[in-house]
Chain A
Amino acid sequence: MSVTWSRLVLWITIILLITITLLYYQSAPYTVDPYSVEMSKMESLSAMRDALVLSSMIYTMILIIIGVMAWTMPLKRCLVKTFLSLPIGRSVFFIGNVFNIFLPPFIVFLVAHVFAGLYILSYVSVFDLLLLFPLILLNTLFIVSIVTLISLIVKDSIVSLFLASSIFLLPYQFPMQLKYINSCYFYTVTVAYIWHCVKHVSYSEAINLIAVTSLVTSIALILSFIYFLKMDVD
């Protein structure tokens, strides 16, 4: 297991680091070029927000793929059946698999952002930068919980991938409810973060977004957990 995951994590790390480095490159002239116009705090944060949004989309896609594959492929190949015929509890298996899905990409994504954020450390405090941790964690759990629920119910890789991608990445083709999920997702990190740094967004709006995201995450995880405990692994 460890061999398979370490290889996967290595690839994710490489992809994320390349992507995030490229995305942050757009803010680089302001911060490293001595002849460029000095970047204002607002411009710097705006660049960071853009980088966050763009890299979040790639991060989301990676999480969706890993999440869907981690649930549907073992179910399809009967691996879940094999493991659950050993003395492994269903709850342990579920929690282990959820951790397996979100922990490696989360750590890589967070570390990459913290390193990239060091470029603009003169504009934001260390505390501002550390605030990324709970927000990215919440965002990651939000995606993983929805993907887990979809994958467990649908059980088919292609359909699950399509559904999860639709919810997170193609929101404007869908009704308002799904659009709301998407806006929660993208703006939980960005809006809350920017609110904190520049007081641009109202306090209540940021808190609402975080509360809604937390609630949806909790409900989706609890439902997935109960469903997994009760489901027939046939």
Chain B
Amino acid sequence: MRDTRRTRLVLVVLLVVALALIALDYSDGSNSALRSVRNAVGDVFGGAEHGTGTVARFFSGGSSSASQVKSLQEQVVKLRAELAGAQLSKSDLQQLRKLLLLAGAAQYRVLAASVIAVGTGYQQTVTVDVGSSNGVTTDETVLNGEGLVGRVISVTPSTATVLLADSRAEVVGAAVAPSGQLGSVTGPGVTASGSGLMRLQMLSSAAVLKPGQELVTSASEHDRPFVPGVPIGVITKLVSVNGALTEAAEVRPFVDFTALGIVGVVIVPPKHDPRFSALPPLPHPGPTVTVTVTARPRTAAAGSSPNPTPGG
């Protein structure tokens, strides 16, 4: 009785509904009804996701009967929570400072946000805790103190969903640092290691790449979806593909996409193209050279006197 006709009927109905939803969303992504449902559910779950971290901090043990003990325990809990908050904000502060430095160097106006949820399965998306009520709209660039994080693909009043730059579906226009040659960077997708290497494909066959060159985003039309000048990564290896007309390379992203904390949404693009000003200073191989230089005379001195005992 329990799993006979009625159950199957319910099952079929539910499956049909699910398929209908998929078809609806597939054919018309901007369906207003679906979007409003998404917004509503996003509000609820976004609030819950936002609150989870906060609530977790106030987790405490059992209570006692005596009121005095209870109040003291509450104090302890409160102080502990404050301490945890302070410690948390310390690391947040670090990230925030770096973000502001980058934004300041490139003249972006950013809206700081924190990542509150991560997409399931093969969705390389995260949710941040700012939304349309904060002025965020879709196709805005998201970055953190290290570099490019992604772009906003959907917005609810209180949350925004960010498609990460290391997604396989994402193609970012890039400029190679010193020369300004253009190419496109594609994400590695989901990998077992969690952080794969991006793939750079140059547009011009005349472009010449070298390992160690850094990439920034190139200008997009109306600065959407990517504002210019956001650091992407550094070329680690050139890839030669047989028959390819243009050069390709593997790029290690600056951002660790599995450990996102504080990010910034660029709500006002820079007036002028910041070019490469936001890139971290290039590391110079100088120090090792000086060490070897200072080491040589010593070995030379040692070689000049192969028998120290009789000489000394």
Does A pair with B?
no
Binding site for B on A (CB under 8 A): none
Binding site for A on B (CB under 8 A): none
